[in-house]
């Protein structure tokens, strides 16, 4: 099910593989590091329902994968953020079909964000 509620806050946490391995074991019950973990937290503030999205990213994994796939390190990190946001909205990549759909969706989002331009042009300071 895809969630429609807007998030009030988005928290990004960047870790190395050693720390990510601990989180992956504790929350996803898997040994080893991973690229992205996402958590959707619901809370009440002043009587209203608020949402917090928390995305944990392994920078070590992003660096390795940028070399493997020939992408810019920054672009790889942005892909992980998009991937994490999709998880927060209910997308899953637990099987090949869902994984392909998620990759298509994150590529569409990246294309819209960058308007088919080099991502480094968009992200680098002026």
Per-residue pLDDT of the chain (126 residues; tens, 9 = 90+): 555 555 568 899 999 999 999 999 999 889 999 999 999 887 777 777 777 789 999 999 999 999 999 988 988 998 999 999 899 888 888 899 999 999 899 888 887 776 645 555 555 544
Phi/psi for 117 (5° steps) reads -105, 165
CA-derived radius of gyration, the chain: 15
Per DSSP, the three-state class of 11 is: strand
Phi/psi for 28 (5° steps) reads -110, -5
Sign of CA dihedral 70, 86, 33, 30: negative
Sorted by sequence, the CB contacts under 8 Å of residue 66 that are 6+ apart come out as 72, 73, 75, 76
Q: What architecture does CATH give domain 9-118?
A: 3-Layer(aba) Sandwich (3.40)
Predicted TM-score of the model (pTM): 0.79
């Amino acid at each position: 099910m895809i969630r429609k509620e807007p998030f009030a806050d988005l928290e990004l946490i960047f870790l190395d593989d050693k720390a990510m391995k601990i989180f992956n074991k504790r929350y996803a019950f898997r040994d080893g590091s991973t690229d992205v973990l996402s958590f959707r937290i619901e809370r009440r503030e002043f009587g209203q329902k608020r949402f917090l999205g928390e995305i944990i990213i392994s920078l070590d994994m992003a660096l390795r994968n940028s070399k493997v796939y020939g992408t810019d390190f920054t672009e790889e990190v942005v892909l992980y953020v998009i991937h994490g946001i999709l998880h927060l909205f209910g997308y899953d990549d637990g099987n090949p079909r869902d994984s392909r759909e998620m990759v298509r969706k994150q590529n569409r989002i990246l294309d819209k964000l960058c308007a088919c331009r080099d991502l480094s042009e968009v992200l680098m300071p002026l």
